[in-house]
Amino acid sequence: MIKVNDLHKTFKAKTGLVRAVDGVSFEAPDGRITGLLGPNGAGKTTTLRMLYTLMRPEQGTVHVDGLDAVREAAAVRRSLGVLPDARGVYKRLTARENITYFGRLHGLDADTIASRTDRLVAALGMEDFIDRQSEGFSQGQRTKTAIARALVHDPKNVILDEPTNGLDVMTTRGLRDFLLTLKSQGRCVILSSHIMQEVGLLCDHIVIIAKGKVTAQGSADTLRRLSGEENLEDAFVRLIGSEEGLAA
């Protein structure tokens, strides 16, 4: 369960202050998939970085299972599984070693790591590359390794930044099923995407972000009703206010 209340974050740029996140609030309950949808540069990644405590909000609060993300950052990180925008898989380690390393950093013992790895390998379909060095992995193999690595400590809450970015159709479908499994296990799943169909298919709750602000949120049906458009794509475009940066 993740509660986000009125987040603000600004960056200094050459042209002056940029309001990357400007008052974002939403709630992501357990057993649901919550999607952040918005064009490139809308502030999705910055919002997620504040959720997984890598950035400090200038204003507003994040609560993960009731814990404050600023004051109890270590405890929050323990209950989170994070797939950052940058996957950062170690090239010279095998997929298994990558997963094991993160398991150890989470303080797990070798047996637990081994059994969890086996389960994740089966669920994500990583059998044929699990013991290969990840140098030369395809985008899909890298993403799967990073996801397995993020979930090795069996977190209650899962945050995925653009999980299907750069994946082919088959891998995307497999990943979609995997996310639905996470949901059915009662986890709180938050993902960001700029692909409306994907969010529409997967998410129970959709938060539309544009220029750092939440322009609308609700289920796919609610959003259709709000915008007065029958077609989901038209609804998104209307709610964001422009067609800029949205991929069909």
To another protein, the closest distance from the beta carbon of 13 in angstroms equals 14
To another protein, the closest distance from the beta carbon of 235 in angstroms equals 30
DSSP 14-69: TTEEEEEEEEEEEEE-TTEEEEEE--TTSSHHHHHHHHTTSS--SEEEEEETTEET
Which listed residue (1, 54, 67, 226) binds another protein by CB under 8 A? 54
Sketch the per residue contact string, 154 through 193, with another protein: x for CB under 8 A, - otherwise: ----------------------------------------
Q: Please classify residue 38 by burial: count the beta carbons closer than 10 Å to its beta carbon, then call 0-12 exposed, 13-18 middle and 19+ buried.
A: buried
Which listed residue (149, 187, 194, 224) binds another protein by CB under 8 A? 149
78 binds another protein (CB under 8 A): yes
Q: Which stretch binds another protein (CB under 8 A): 59-67, 79-87, 169-177, 216-224?
A: 79-87
Residue 54 has phi, psi (to 5 degrees) of -80, -25
Which listed residue (41, 60, 84, 174) binds another protein by CB under 8 A? 84
DSSP 112-123: HHHHHHHHHHHH
Contact by Cβ (8 Å): 7, 23:
yes
Q: Pairing between strand 67-68 and 80-83?
A: unpaired
- Nearest-CA neighbor of 212 among 2, 72, 50? 50
Q: Across-strand partners of 169?
A: none
To another protein, the closest distance from the beta carbon of 243 in angstroms equals 25
Number of residues that bind another protein (CB under 8 A): 34
Contact by Cβ (8 Å): 9, 57:
yes
131 binds another protein (CB under 8 A): no
Q: Which stretch binds another protein (CB under 8 A): 30-38, 48-56, 205-213, 220-228?
A: 48-56
Q: Please classify residue 2 by burial: count the beta carbons closer than 10 Å to its beta carbon, then call 0-12 exposed, 13-18 middle and 19+ buried.
A: buried
Output the six-digit token pair for 79. 């209950």
Which listed residue (30, 65, 68, 97) binds another protein by CB under 8 A? 97
Q: Which stretch binds another protein (CB under 8 A): 35-43, 53-61, 117-125, 169-177?
A: 53-61
93 binds another protein (CB under 8 A): yes
Output the six-digit token pair for 106. 């989470």
Residue 223 has phi, psi (to 5 degrees) of -65, -40
Q: Which stretch binds another protein (CB under 8 A): 30-38, 71-79, 186-194, 218-226?
A: 71-79
77 binds another protein (CB under 8 A): yes
Residues in contact with another protein by the rule CB under 8 A:
49, 52-56, 74-75, 77-78, 80, 82-93, 97, 101-102, 104-107, 133, 146, 149-150
